[in-house]
Structure formats: structure tokens, C-alpha cells
Amino acid sequence: MMLSPDRKLGYTVSVYGAQGDRVTEFWVFDMKTKKIVNRKQFVGRTRLAFGMTADGSKLMIYNAGFEIELYDAKTLELVHTINLEGDTTSNLIVMPLKKSS
């Protein structure tokens, strides 16, 4: 579980079902009441890692692939996909250098 910087909200990913019935969702918890306050399905990978940006504004789905998907922590909508041009099989992520023209 990831906590927002103010520790009021907790975020996690839930994966249930199998094969064609697999469902992947973000779950958002109010940490004071310990209740789910939001949830949203998203297209999940077979294997994934879940993280949060340092400022708590974005949720990250990565690992077992070459992209990081960034979701808005408030709306749970996909906002950006970053192509790393290499496999992300650990928590160490080195962003590619900007290609010169």
C-alpha cells in the first residue's frame, strides 16, 4: 500500500480472477475510517509493480515491460505513458537521455 504524503489516503492495486476473467483495480482507502472511498478498473499487466510519485500526485504501474504508466491519484485516470526503451525488472529506473536532434 502507498500512502499519500499527508497519510490521509492509502492506495493499492487489487488483482482477482484468472485468464479472461482477470480484473485489475486501483483501490483508495480513507486511512482514518479504513474504508474504500474510490476504486477504478484499469488494464493491468500479467505482472506489475505499483508505486507513487514523491509528491503523491501520480500512481505508477511498471515492471515486466519497458513502459511506466502514470495515473492521476485523484481521478485514477491514465495521464501519461513513459517509454524507457528497456525492460524495468527492478525498482531501479533510469530514465532515457533525451535524444538530440
Amino acid 20: pLDDT: 79
Which CATH number fits the domain that encloses residue 54? 2.40.10.480
Non-local CB neighbours of 2 within 8 Å, separated by 6+ positions: 10, 11, 12, 50, 51, 52, 59
Number of domains in the chain: 1
Domain boundaries, position 22: 2-83
Closest C-alpha among 65, 36, 30 to residue 49: 65
Amino acid 94: pLDDT: 58
Closest C-alpha among 56, 67, 77 to residue 2: 56
Amino acid 47: pLDDT: 84
In a domain, 25, yes or no: yes
In a domain, 91, yes or no: no
Residue matched to cell numbers 500512502: 3
In a domain, 40, yes or no: yes
pTM of the predicted structure, to 2 decimals: 0.83
pLDDT in tens, 33-74: 999 999 999 988 888 889 999 899 999 998 877 888 999 999
In a domain, 89, yes or no: no
Q: Quickly state the pLDDT bin for 95 (edges 50, 70, 90).
A: low
In a domain, 21, yes or no: yes
Query: Is 87 within 8 Å of 66 (Cβ atoms)?
Result: yes
In a domain, 54, yes or no: yes
In a domain, 97, yes or no: no
